[in-house]
A and B are shown apart, each in its own frame.
Chain A
Amino acid sequence: MDKTSEEASSKGKKRQRDQQPTDPQTNQPHHQIFSLEDNLSFTDTLVALRMMRAQFPRIDKVSIQPFILRSQLYSSVKDRTQVDRELESLRREKVVRIFKLNTGQDDHAIMFLDDYLNQMENVVKRLEEKEGDQVFKWFRTHVIDSKLEPSIEHQELYTLLSLGGMVKDGHISLLINAGLLILKSVVLWSFSVLASYTRQLIDPNMYWFAIPNIGSVLKGLSQGRKEVLSFLNRRRYKEMMLASMEKKCLRFSPLDMRFHLRDLIGSGHLKTVQTSTGLLVRVSKD
């Protein structure tokens, strides 16, 4: 949207983030000037990404860099094809990285490259591995730089890491233990919220790239989704005003209501209806 809403967006938030966006704010006393209603749609994918990154909730227990879900982008920009294409060009320009998540059928997390590298640094520092220190450096310089897709084959991983030095099998296990890579070798029958499933074949040679330290957040993500949907489903007419929904706190998820609302609206589980008193959120019947 426009500049005023951009400034207004981080005012009056209950949880302040460490990294503040550009303009200084004045704290509004009682009202939450920012509301999801005003900030639901943007014109451009990059603007939407930056805004949502700024609005990422701060989680106390886990230090995690902000990431954005693809479904959140779909709820924010009108034209989905435009979102896909712009994401593709951003990915090719190495501005963002896309990761496939294992929650649900087609979940992708988008993270700015700098954030991802910061996250990697934090995780590596905490591991304090003497031997395998170099692997992470090789991973960072050779693999992340050249392989832009969300998955990689074993052979190629080996070749790229060898550009840094002698690679042993133990090195790759280090990467897996750090949470940077996940083996595709499990047959996943993963049930998403609507109980539809995907089956991924046993593929012992492929790895997915992953965001390290994200496990608890992902669990919170699926639980939060279920909680929001069950909350709305329990109501008589399965709907609620967006403004009052935002104020609710979620019990099972560290991510805030706004995050989940954007995600569920974008993936089609919820839909918004414009009424004379504001936006209404309703569970969509497929």
Chain B
Amino acid sequence: MWKEIGDRERGILRPKSFTTRIKSNRIRTLQISNHKDIVSPHRASINSLQVDLTEGRYLLSGAADASAAVYDVQRATDYEGGGLIAKHKCLFVVDKQHEHGHKYAISSAIWYPVDTGLFITGSHDHHINVWDTNTTQVVMNFKMPGKVYRTAMSSLATTHMLIAAGTEDVQVRLCDIASGAFSHTLSGHRDGVMTVEWSTSSEWVLVTGGCDGAIRFWDIRRAGCFLVLDQSHSQLGRRPTIPEHSATNKALTSKSLSSGQNLNAKPRAQQRKLANGNGTKQSPVGRMPAKGSLRQRLHPGMLSSLDRATAHYGAVTGLKATEDGMYLLSAGSDSRLRLWDVESGCNTLVNFETVRLQAGKPIQLATSQDSALVFVPCMTAVKAFDVWSGNTSQTFRGHYEYVNSCWFSSQEQELYTGGNDKQILVWSPPRMKDLLRIGITGVIDICS
């Protein structure tokens, strides 16, 4: 460590590699924090955690007792144990007693990506609320046709302010904060949608995972999805090999004859604008004909609804895109974690040794910033897997019951996990002070 600082001083080590080295060393020594504690006011299981994307300072948690709370993770509210343990109490809490609060469990609580002035909560009472943080008032409300499982907003978006909502209804709805209405719906899934994630490389691409086991990529500017991930399409390695003959490659990776996916078609952007928050269902044109001959009646963008490829043998419970936008991790209720190459749409066949994953609820995965590690809640423990080899790098055991969500803060190299035991645990690298203190006492013991 000191040698590295010296090298950095002399200019032998680049600043970026210096920081990555320190960060990865710290990540490798993550353990349950002995100097930081988050006091959670929730009285039921914690379903969602997120640290804001602008400052990395405020942690938002949503729980099953319809309460959402915000904590400052950088500044402690008080200290215990002679100043050694920092206690972080919540800055405020909104729960059922609030006049416009949710009535049932909050399944997803996210920050407005631009600043921490707004946050959005989605709940099992079919509503999505947009809250003003400073006044803790609801400024906007969207009514969904079913329980809301996940909400997401794109952190890259500069031209739109859409909330993508995955509910138990088969259609994914996009809610617009600017106008207060639904912008459009995306149909194609055959069962409820448990996870939604925006792509980290394009502000127009949305990835959704459904209870039918399919993962679909949508470009919100046009109808239908442009990619459905199929677990039987696989590539051996990080990127597909350059084909010698393009024909043989097509035979291996092309879709079957009767699938309706049309990658080359350019459908006109048919956006169904609905007025004033009316979430009326619009059935797609020519829905799912039984015989193939009737396929011509479908709009080219809707052909993807015929594609029944599944990414998992059960429901897709968690999705996470890597920071560079090239790979996608998906967790399913078949207890498999899969890594997909987004560009080719293939399964990279990396095997993550998960014995069991939680099946009924959506789970939140987290990746470290350079995407070398993925943190997955596996029942009562959180496991960190190496993304490229699938080996378990670390196991974090501390929760008493199932873990639902985890969030990795790359600024502090800290991991926050929340579970059914109503606790939010902090996992951090040991402090320098502690290491030095152990070092000094060790030396004194030897000398005396």
Residues of chain A touching chain B, judged by Cβ–Cβ distance below 8 Å, are 74, 79-81, 83-85, 88-89, 92, 100, 105-106, 149-150, 153, 155-156, 159, 194, 196-201, 203, 205-206, 267-269, 284, 286
Contacts and interface: CB of A to CB of B under 8 A. Distances in A.
A203 B234 contact: no
Contacts of B211: 199
B132 interface: no
B334 A105 contact: yes
B169 interface: no
B186 interface: no
Contact of B351 (A83, A194, A269): A83
A203 B308 contact: yes
A172 to B, nearest CB: 15
Contacts of A92: 252
A88 B313 contact: no
Interface of B: 190-191, 211-213, 232, 234, 236-237, 252, 256-259, 292, 308, 313-315, 333-336, 349-351, 353, 355-356, 359, 378-380, 389-390
Given A92-B252, A106-B336, A196 B349 contact: no
Contacts of B350: 81, 84
A81 B314 contact: no
A206 B314 CA distance: 16
Contacts of A286: 355-356, 378-380
Given A79-B389, A155-B292, A198-B314, A88 B333 contact: no
Contact of A267 (B234, B308, B355): B355
A264 to B, nearest CB: 11
A106 B355 contact: no
Nearest to B291: A155
A30 to B, nearest CB: 38
B349 A284 contact: no
Contact of B353 (A80, A105, A153, A155): A80
B188 to A, nearest CB: 14
A85 B356 contact: no
Given A194-B356, A286-B379, A80 B351 contact: yes
B82 to A, nearest CB: 37
Contacts of A84: 349-351
A149 B356 contact: no
A81 B258 contact: no
B355 A81 contact: no
B236 A105 contact: no
B256 A153 contact: yes
